[in-house]
Structure 1
Amino acid sequence: MKTLEQTSRRDFMKLAAAAGGGLFLGFNWSNSSALPVVVNAKDIAAGLIHFNSYLSIGTDNTITIVSPNPEIGQGIKTAFPMIVAEELDADWKKVKTVQGNLDTTIFERQVTGGSGAVPHSWERLRKAGATARYLLVEAAATTWKVPATECTTESNKVLHKASGKSLSYGELAEATSKLTAPTEVKLKNEKEFKLIGQSVRNVDNNNIATGKPLFGLDFYREGMLFALIQRPKAFGLKLKSVNSDVAKSMPGIVDVVTFDNSVAVVGKSTWQVKKAKDTLKIEYEKAADLESTADHNRIFAQLMDSGQATVRRKNGDVDTAFKNAAKVIKAEYQCPFLPHSPLEPMNFFAHVREDGVELVGPTQTPDRARTEVAKLTGIAPEKITVEITRQGGGFGRRLAADYVIEAANVSKLMKAPVKVIWTREDDMTGGIYRPAVRYRFEAALDKSGELIGYKLRGVGMNSGNSTREDNFPSGSVDNLLIDSVEHKSPITTGPWRAPITNFLAYAEQSFLDEVAEAAGKDPIEFRLALLEKAKKSPAGDVKYDVDRMIAVIKMAAEKSNWGKKKGVHQGFSVYFSHRSYVAQVGEVVVEKGKPVLKKVIAAVDCGIVINKSGSLQQVRGGVVDGIGHAMYGNMTFKDGTPDQNNFNGFRLIRMNEIPEVDVHFVDNGISPTGLGEPALPPAGGAVANAFYKATKLRLRNQPFINEEAFKGIS
């Protein structure tokens, strides 16, 4: 039997209608200006009416909304209902969320990526809650024969304080369902918020703690088969032959099948399949160059000086600025490939039938999964369903659909329902990595230490444009050139938390500290002066909010007591990404002759904070993720084969290495902007600059553990 979390939107409506009905509002995800309308639950269940989402108030006083976006730990499944509940003056204990499955006819942007879910849905959700509240007040006022203006709401009740009367939302639900929604509705002023901005536990916490089946790995279907897949062990190889005789003879094994460049062992249990997979005898042949990390270093050096660069932004006369400069500063920064390393490895369930396909599992892009499976099977997309489970991490890895396609391939070949599971080794060595990149920076200073010229070249592996040409300091330097060069590698890459900026921010912010030092200026004052230049006399378009960036810089300086702590070496960094602004100060002390990271202070402008506890964890998690990978993460290759295949070889930050993370939010009352990613980019730069203060050694390559400044640190 399916749990509430597993039911589809239509299944939920059928259950709600059968349970006694109530108020059902349909509201539009794709049009923020469209107001909700009262709809008939029976018509929804019968498929006669389509709206992009639903808010229901049952006669049992329970408020439920369908949430479309995949939950990967970013807390969207908690934030969405909080927004509705705030405008509705709901009793939070009575609010529930149902995970919506893929439905492109009624949902827009059913994606988790780019830190865009709350910015996209903020106004839509508020209008849904405010409309429901308006209708409930109207129903109560009609019942009591009093003016609606004399009624107030709180905690799932409408009150008429003059008479002492009150009715619960559940008691009013039926009467409210007979009313017509207004054409306009007033939203609360931020100062009136009671729930938004408070700390609220994640709605799935209890189910997670008690082991309820929420995740893709939890999904089980009676009679399904399990499959593990052997992919080429090196990037650049293709399958030549396979001997699976031993595997096929082992207990529980149903078959061994091949497709594309892969061999799938299919059986009745994961352990039986894993044991059989280890007996496969496979031959491969070369299909592309088998690249090693040493090759990448050579390729980077060649392309950095090549004439193949694509100009991304150019302002002023760069050549003249550098020719006339009193001082020129140059530096190069490089980072390695990185795996995503989600706690839950890739997995997916597929049942390919002649009349349709059923897909179930963790995906950040359910529509992409469906589209790719439609191409594979030739079955129309409308005959393919995608049920979205909660995800044990994604960080961009589950934006891809390769593991979904594998499940569909095996199910199609086996003519049976199949669940494909990746081991940790599969997850680490199966690609899609954060691309390796090298940056070269050059800065020209005049005699007074003013920045008059700036150049950046990015060389990336499968990264497309490895720069963010419109980010700071663009707009603040009169003569600027940003370009990029691309190397096509057989090593598969893809988005990794805060794509491109996860390393670029560290490199840029470290280099700006080098420039500030060469100019004889304080790092923070140096950046503030550049921002004032961008504000008063911009060089070309300025595509970031200068005032918001200045505000987080000043807050970080104030909260960290910048430059005034004895025995503490501070490093600064600030970055704009995903519509938000984050400034960080890293603090390093020297203990027994070794620099030790003790604290990171973060100032964050993400607009209105929905869930304070969830937001704090997003920032802290982003900081730890950023500094951990900057310090220790290193994926290397030998002849196309990853050298690291599990956590015994791939170094992650350890619990005792995590510093205190002190978080402060700017309260500016603007609509929410992204938060899942923006805290990660500035983290590496803040730490690197702090270590420089302590050691006088620059950290120009990641992981820091391999650099001179880190020698002797385990």
Structure 2
Amino acid sequence: MGTVTKASRRDFLKIAGSSVGGLVIGFSWFSCDSPKMEVVSTEEILANAKSFNSFLSISPSGDVVIYSPNPELGQNIKTSFPMVVAEELEADWEKVRVVQANLDVEKFDRQLTGGSGAMPHSWERLRKAGATAKFVLVAAAAKTWNVPAGEITVEKGIISHKSSGKSGHFGEFVTEASTMTAPEEVTLKDKKDFRIIGTPVKNVDAMEMYTGKPLYGLDFYRVGMKHAMVQRAPFGKKIKSVDDAAARAVSGISDVVTFGTSVAVVGESTWPLMKAKKLLKVEYETDGAVESTADHDRIFADLMANGKAEVKREDGDVNQSFKSAAKIVTAEYQCPFLAHSPMEPENFFAHVQADKIELIGPTQTPDRARSAAAEITGIPKENITVEITRLGGGFGRRLRADYVEEAVHISKAINAPVKVSWSREDELTGGAYRPAVRYRFEAALDAGGNMIGYKLRGVGMNTGNTTRENNFPCGAVENALIESINYESTITTNAWRAPITNFLAYAEQSFLDEVALEAGKDPVQLRLELYEKAKSNPIGKTDYNVNRMIAVTKEVAEKSNWGKNPNVKQGLSVYFSHRTYVAQVADIEMDGGTPTLKKITAVTDCGMVVNPIGANHQVRGGIVDGMGHAMYTNLTFENGVPKQKNYDSYRLIRLKEVPEIDTHFLDSGFDPTGLGEPALPPTGGAIANAIFAATGRRLRSQPFIEQKEFSDIKLEIRRA
């Protein structure tokens, strides 16, 4: 392997950028739902590139690099993206690398990451990029050897002409290929011929992560930069006065800066900053509603009963269906606020100068960061650069730019480069949270136990639409009413992994089990009957593919041996979100009189699986995340301040609490769909339904361990 592949990312790019005769092919990245990342000095490459949104380059050494606009925050695109390119290129995987580009609104489109959209949006574009490069390389070899291009084969980066015995690696033809015109259309490989896609490939950053090499925002350091930490006002309050004398007296503190509703201490390192921040004496005054969890309970109850709702969907004659019902099933479900709590707390570097700004750090929305900096300083956006490090988790928290704004404010005030770092306490108390939500479900059943009417009303804080009105069971019920109520809270909220569906799925799937019980039907049977109605006589618009819903439901029933062991109590949950279908079954066994969660079986249809290792990790991680937050985690407020300030009180799932997880994937023949979020929503419902099957206790609020229905259940979690 050449020295380029052994060099650092930054060094590699410098080499690639200065290589004579390097091949650069531009390809369109329209509607790519993610941002690019850290790229360095590639002016020579970019200057010669076509005006598209992302680029594939091949150096004379034969090394292949893809410049990606999507950030890596654990969803494994830094591995899966180059796998797709390498597949169509017929490259040697060992010589393929990906580099994440800096913010460039001229060359990249929709540079943000969210909604599990990176692979669905980029799949075809990545394939075309690889196929186009292969086409011109083959053409260059054909010209060089004076043979027909149709007689040339490519495998693992080697171009060969069998009858003449000639062969050579990619790099030998890049100079000639760079003079050729790329075709507008190329032929893509048949999926049955894939050699790389669908095979297990380990994370390309694994060694750097294992050995602690700098990758993340917290790793970033520049000689001469200052450090800063920030004290933020409680929600609903503003600063009245600041006494910073004691903080300034701490050794290593160089300045104290007040801006907006925040006070920042500035110094040479974070340890004195943490001490100084505790010595700040800040007096606050009310600036809006100062809310507590008790207020939220009262507000939700009032809005659910009396609030004016926005009708999101209305099918048939709902009132008549309930008037004629033989039985009506009603239930309410409620979830709390949650913090995102990524492993790496918020941090960002900013250097504000007279006419330009440099921004470096972990963000899911680099253009939002740039826009915020421009608004604060008045410096034109074109004079602001954004370099993005690998993110140590995001879950939606880094869609916001509040922590970037802090760095910009402070750098501007002290006229020096500064890096803002949040502590874990900052992360939990100064965050933007998953909103608290309450749902009320009603189902009308006829004498045969068939659902003839369905109502859902959601009340949420700062959520906009609390529902997914085109998801199941809508489309399968003749008469349906979906309503949403939004309450504007002073507590900042934000998209949290699998927004809305992270709780809605649990509530819907638990309620469907309540309906199945009242209808005298098996939970699998009830769902399959509803699917068949949606298939044979669909009502209104739906976003889900009913055949794929049927397939994952039947498959998870088979893989989990549904209903076949009387000693195993099972709970089912099936959900569609982010273009992907996930069915889960939780198994509970009685162990010496104690219900024990032994296993969760998951079947996922995310279309074609690009990397089985990454896909397996995503599903397992989503299940652990969904289980942990459903069972254990709660964030409550008192006078505008979270009561849980660190992991001693903000309860996360522990390793010993993870049961056996059995994952399966269905290849439905579709292109890859989202996978970073869809496995989380069904988990809470599967576990809650299994707990009911084992104990007769229905859990309608999260976290489960804080519900009175759960108080005397000694549930254990045990791995096989």
TM-score by length of 2: 0.95
Letter in 2 for 1:531: Y
**Unmatched runs of 5 consecutive residues or more in structure 1:** 33-40
Using the TM superposition, give the Cα deviation of residue 660 of structure 1 relative to its aligned residue in structure 2, in angstroms: 1.5
The alpha-carbon distance between structure 1 residues 47 and 352, as it changes in their structure 2 partners (threshold 3 A), is farther
How far apart, CA to CA, are the structure 2 residues paired with 1:568 and 1:325? Answer: 34
- SS across alignment from 1:332: strand
How many residue pairs are counted as aligned between the two chains?
A: 700
Give CA deviations for 1:378-414 in whole Å, capped at 9, x if unaligned.
1111010000000000000000000000000000111
Aligned to 1:100: 101
Structure 2 counterpart of 1:106, one-letter code? K
1:220 aligns with 2:221: yes
Partner Cα separation in structure 2 for residue 539 and residue 176 of structure 1:
55
For residue 217 of structure 1, give the secondary structure of its aligned residue in structure 2. Answer: helix
Which residue of structure 1 aligns with residue 35 of structure 2?
none
Change over 3 Å in CA distance of 1:527–1:62 after alignment to 2: same
- The secondary structure found in structure 2 opposite 1:278 is helix
Indicate the residue corresponding to 2:65 in structure 1. Answer: 64
Alignment of 1:552-591 (within 5 A): 552-591=552-591
Do 1:695 and 1:709's aligned partners in 2 also have CA atoms closer than 8 Å?
no
Structure 2 stretches lacking a partner, 5+ long: 1-5, 33-41
User: What secondary structure sits across from 2:279 in the alignment?
Assistant: coil
Q: What is the deviation of 1:640?
A: 1.8
Tell me by how many angstroms 1:6 deviates.
6.7
User: How far apart, CA to CA, are the structure 2 residues paired with 1:393 and 1:236?
Assistant: 28
Partner of 2:463: 463
Check whether the contact 1:43–1:49 (CA below 8 A) recurs between aligned residues: no
Contact between 2:17 and 2:45, CA under 8 Å: does it hold in 1?
A: no
Find the counterpart in structure 2 of residue 191 from structure 1: 192
In the alignment, what sits opposite 1:35?
Answer: none
What CA distance in whole angstroms lies between the structure 2 residues aligned with 1:4 and 1:685? 48
Q: Distance in 2 between matches of 1:593 and 1:323?
A: 44
Is contact 1:309–1:484 with CA below 8 Å preserved after alignment? yes
SS in 2 for 1:547: helix
- Partner SS state of residue 115, structure 1: coil
Q: How far apart, CA to CA, are the structure 1 residues paired with 2:43 and 2:619?
A: 43
Distance 1:445 1:46, change over 3 A: closer
Would the aligned equivalents of 1:552 and 1:582 in 2 still touch at CA under 8 Å? yes
Q: Is the 8 A contact 2:86 2:96 kept in 1?
A: yes
Deviation at 1:562, TM superposition (A): 1.1
Say if 1:68 and 1:101, in contact at 8 Å, map to a contact too: yes
Q: By how many angstroms is 1:594 displaced? A: 2.1
Identity %: 62
CA deviation string 1:668-705 (max 9, x = no partner): 22111111111111111111111111111111110011
SS at match of 1:305: helix
- Counterpart in the other structure of 1:170: 171
Pairwise CA distance, 1:19: 2.9
In structure 2, distance between residues paired with 1:277 and 1:440: 44
Partner of 2:38: none
What amino acid is aligned across from residue 501 of structure 1 in structure 2? Answer: T
CA distance, structure 1, for counterparts of residue 688 and residue 618 of structure 2: 22
- The alpha-carbon distance between structure 1 residues 178 and 213, as it changes in their structure 2 partners (threshold 3 A), is same
Note if contact 1:632-1:653 (Cα within 8 Å) is conserved in structure 2.
yes
Residue type of the alignment partner of 2:367:
D
Inter-partner Cα distance in structure 2 for 1:670 and 1:45: 34
Equivalent runs, 1:528-543 vs 2, <5 Å: 528-543=528-543
Distance in 2 of aligned mates of 1:595 and 1:443: 30
The answer (yes or no) to whether the contact 1:5–1:98 under 8 Å persists in 2 is no
Deviation by residue 1:364-386 (Cα, 9 ceiling, x = unmatched): 00011111111111111101000
Distance of aligned partners of 1:42 and 1:406 in 2 relative to their CA distance in 1, 3 Å threshold: closer
Cα displacement (A) at 1:490: 1.3
- Alpha-carbon distance in 2 for matches of 1:184, 1:288: 58
**1:77 partnered with 2:78:** yes
Q: Is the 8 A contact 2:62 2:95 kept in 1?
A: yes
Q: CA deviation at 1:314?
A: 0.6
Q: Does 1:157 align with 2:161?
A: no
* Counterparts of 2:467 and 2:668, CA distance in 1: 29
- Residues 238-317 of structure 1: matches in 2 within 5 Å? 238-317=238-317
Is the 1:29–1:107 Cα contact (8 Å) retained in structure 2?
yes
- SS, match of residue 187 in structure 1: coil
Q: Is the 8 A contact 1:14 1:45 kept in 2?
A: no
Listed one character per residue, the Cα deviations across residues 480-508 of structure 1 (whole Å, up to 9, x for unaligned) are 11101122211111100000000000000
Structure 2 match to 1:651: 651
SS in 2 for 1:650: coil
The DSSP-based 3-state class of the residue aligned with 1:648 is coil
Give the C-alpha shift of residue 48 in structure 1: 8.0
- Report deviation, 1:247: 1.3
- In structure 2, distance between residues paired with 1:31 and 1:700: 39
Q: Name the CA distance, whole Å, in 1 between partners of 2:419 and 2:24.
A: 36
Q: Do the aligned partners of residues 665 and 351 (structure 1) sit closer, same or farther apart at CA in structure 2, a change above 3 Å counting?
A: same
Give the structure 1 partner of residue 519 of structure 2: 519
- The equivalent of 2:687 in structure 1 is 687
Q: Is the 8 A contact 1:534 1:542 kept in 2?
A: no
**Contact 1:27 1:51 survives alignment (8 Å):** yes
Name the SS of the counterpart of 2:306 in structure 1.
Answer: coil
Structure 1 distance, partners of 2:486, 2:47, is 52
User: 2:26 aligns to what?
Assistant: 26
Tell me the amino acid that sits aligned with residue 19 of structure 1.
S
CA distance in 2, matches of 1:695, 1:5: 56
Counterpart Cα distance in 1 of 2:701 and 2:624: 18
For 1:664-675, list aligned pairs within 5 A.
Answer: 664-675=664-675
The CA deviation at 1:178 is: 2.3
On the 8 A contact 2:21/2:178 being kept in 1, the answer is no
Q: CA deviation at 1:572?
A: 0.5
Q: Which residue of 2 aligns with 1:36?
A: none
Moved more, 161-170 or 521-530: 161-170
Distance in 2 between residues matched to 1:178 and 1:14, nearest whole Å = 22
Aligned-partner Cα distance in 1 for 2:180–2:48: 22
Cα deviation for residue 146 of structure 1 reads 2.5
* Contact 1:334–1:701, Cα closer than 8 Å, also in 2: yes
Q: Does 1:235 align with 2:235?
A: yes
- For residues 129 and 31 of structure 1, what CA distance do their matches in structure 2 show? 19
Show the 5 A alignment for 1:134-145: 134-145=135-146
- The equivalent residue for 2:387 is 387
Partner of 1:201: 202
Offset at 1:251? 1.2
Deviation at 1:709, TM superposition (A): 3.0
Q: Matched residue of 1:257: which SS? A: strand
- Closer, same or farther in 2 for the Cα pair 1:523/1:434, shift >3 Å? same
Deviations 1:293-351 (A, max 9, x none): 12111111111111411111111111111111000011110110000010000000001
In the aligned structure 1, how far is the partner of 2:49 from the partner of 2:654? 54
**Contact 1:13 1:45 survives alignment (8 Å):** no
In structure 1, the residue matched to 2:90 is 89
Aligned to 1:37: none
**Counterpart for residue 334 of structure 1:** 334
Deviation at 1:20, TM superposition (A): 3.1
Contact kept in structure 2, 1:5 and 1:214, CA below 8 Å:
no
Q: Is the 8 A contact 1:190 1:669 kept in 2?
A: no
Distance 1:210 1:42, change over 3 A: closer
Q: Could you say what secondary structure the match of 1:59 adopts?
A: coil
Query: Take 1:629 and 1:366, find their aligned partners in 2: how far apart are those partners?
Result: 29
The one-character-per-residue Cα deviations of 1:456-495 (angstroms, maximum 9, x if unpaired) are 1111111111111111001111111110112221111110
1:713 positional shift: 4.5
Aligned residue type for 2:121:
H
| Equivalent in the alignment of 1:374 | 374
How far apart are the structure 2 equivalents of 1:618 and 1:607? 14
CA deviation string 1:598-637 (max 9, x = no partner): 1111111111111110011011101110011000010011
- Post-superposition Cα deviations, 1:75-102, rounded to whole Å, max 9, x if no partner, equal 1111111110000111111001111010
SS in 1 for 2:345: coil
Contact 2:464 2:486 in 1 (8 A): yes
Matching residue of 1:698: 698
Question: SS where residue 331 of structure 1 aligns?
Answer: strand
* Bigger mean CA deviation after superposition, 509-518 or 155-164: 155-164
The answer to whether the 8 A contact 1:227-1:270 is kept is yes
How big is the shift at 1:17?
4.3
